[in-house]
Amino acid sequence: MADCADILRRLNAAKAALELVNTTGQVRAITDTDGSRIEYSIQRPQNLVSYVALLQAQYDACIAGTATIVTRPVNFFFP
């Protein structure tokens, strides 16, 4: 599992991406530590909001020292 500093770094990057998407409408890509690349655009900002919430929950659990395992929510995408 990632340490608190790594989770905080990803959380800050995700928040910055959300701010960029919300204010400019630009597409923003985030590359996670496992190498996966996720692109967010103004058409689906809820995905980025979910990612920020996930990272926030992971960071809160890390700081509290709890053994809570926070996983990614299930998302279904239909073109």
30-64 b/e (C-beta count within 10 Å ≥ 16 → b):
beeeeeeeeebeeeebebbeebbebbbebbebbee
Please give the residue that has the higher pLDDT: either 62 or 47.
Answer: 62
Q: Which residue has the tokens 């279904």?
A: 76
pLDDT digits (tens, 9 = 90+) for 5-59: 888 999 998 898 888 777 876 666 777 777 777 776 666 677 788 888 988 988 9
Q: Which domains does the chain have, with CATH numbers?
A: 4-64 (3.30.1580.10)
Could you give the residue ranges of the DSSP H alpha helices within the chain?
A: 4-24, 45-64
pLDDT digits (tens, 9 = 90+) for 41-53: 666 677 788 888 9
Please give the residue that has the higher pLDDT: either 11 or 65.
Answer: 11
pLDDT of residue 12: 92
